[in-house]
Amino acid sequence: MKETGLIKKDEIDTPALLIDLDAFEYNIKLMADFMKDKSAKLRPHYKSYKCPTISHKQINAGAKGITCAKLEEAETLIFAGIRDVLIANEIPNPAKLYRLAGLAHAHPETKITVAADNAENITALSQAASRFGVTLYVLVEVDVGMGRCGVNTPDEVYALSKRIKDSKGLVFEGIQAYEGHLSYDLDIPTSLTEEVKREGVKKMCEKVGAIKDYLEKKGITVNEISGGGTGTYNITGNNTIWTEIQAGSYALMDSVYDRAGLRFKCAMTILTTVMHKRPGMAVTDAGLKVCTIEQGFPAIKGYPHLEIYQELSEEHGPIEDPKDELEYLQKIEYIPSHGCTTVNLHDQFYCVRNNTVEAIWPITARGRSR
């Protein structure tokens, strides 16, 4: 084979975050194909990868826009040319609301939507929008079982939607309703069986469907109902009430989601070098500063029987290696247990195909969590 001069995978300095491009493209296509004939459209969540290059690829594959969690994430998306951004989260801080309205003012070509779940926040959003002379689209968040933010009753949603409709600079766009408690759990295969998920989604559809009917009877149009995660995309995405699916982890996946029996592939790994070897033990150069562990230790790709020994330390990954399968200076890959928080520790993805680095994509929103 002709030498191309491109860097080979085993020449990448470690620790480094990799994307297997074949697996990533497979995931993007699998989701796009599933969503193609659905009444809901895909609006993938950016917090799972924080890289606008991936967002553009999702939009090219049919996604209508992008979801994010924080104002700073929205800024990086809009600066990268994404024209339809949902911040599926409340922004309570007054200073940030002016920054949001300023962003809308500087980017009139972009539709910006934000969630709200109380009257005071809606008043503050309207003041900020009016001061900058912009329009902000607002979803009222309904708690569909996560017990995080959101209101509950049809009357509460009606009162907030009416307030949005009557507020200068705001447009009531619909409902934010995310069922994270049905989508992701550390005991995924046992706690979130297909039956549990289907039953949960059915209940949440009844709740949100009733709220939508109630609002419409009172003359308020609900354009969007937005929610859905990787673990429920094929259930929530099959109902006709939701108009947007916010799944994000499907693009790169992680080892916890991998246990859910979804058809997506683990496309993201951390490349690491064995920096110390002694009988029964190998130590890598990838510790807590490049891999989060709040959802468990990473899996070792290609060695499902090997495990991290006791703890990851800041810069070291001790691996129990009873049969001495690993060698000094060998490069191995971790599959992170939680992709969303692990990407936040890295500046770039090395994108690899056929053992060659094909591209380097910046993780632009790394640390942009305000």
Ligand X SMILES: Cc1ncc(COP(=O)(O)O)c(C=O)c1O
Q: Smallest distance, Å, CB 32 to ligand X?
A: 15
Q: Smallest distance, Å, CB 340 to ligand X?
A: 6
Q: Smallest distance, Å, CB 203 to ligand X?
A: 18
Pairing of strands 317-321, 280-284: antiparallel
Would you tell me how many other CB atoms lie within 10 Å of the CB of residue 219?
8
Query: Distance between alpha carbon 328 and the CA centroid of its chain, in Å?
Result: 36
Q: Smallest distance, Å, CB 341 to ligand X?
A: 11
E strand or H helix at 190, and its extent? helix 188-191
**Is 115 in a helix, a strand, or coil?**
strand
**Nearest CB to ligand X, comparing residues 205 and 271:** 205
Q: Compute CA distances 311 → 280, 288, 319, 340, whole Å.
A: 16, 9, 9, 21
Q: Smallest distance, Å, CB 312 to ligand X?
A: 22
**Nearest CB to ligand X, comparing residues 52 and 229:** 229
Q: Smallest distance, Å, CB 317 to ligand X?
A: 24
Query: Distance between alpha carbon 141 and the CA centroid of its chain, in Å?
Result: 18
Phi-psi region of 273 (alpha: psi -120 to 50; beta: other; left: phi over 0): beta
**Nearest CB to ligand X, comparing residues 231 and 336:** 231
**Nearest CB to ligand X, comparing residues 67 and 284:** 67
The contact set with ligand X (CB under 6 A) reads 45, 48, 67, 88, 178, 180, 183-184, 229-231, 246-249
Give residues with Cβ within 8 angstroms of 24, minimum separation 6. 54, 251, 252, 267, 351
* DSSP string computed for 288-355: TTT---TT-PPEETT-TT-EE-S---SS-EEEEETT----TT-EEEEE-S-HHHHHTT-SEEEEEETT
**Nearest CB to ligand X, comparing residues 67 and 167:** 67
Taking CB atoms, the residue at the shortest distance from ligand X is 229
**Nearest CB to ligand X, comparing residues 249 and 364:** 249
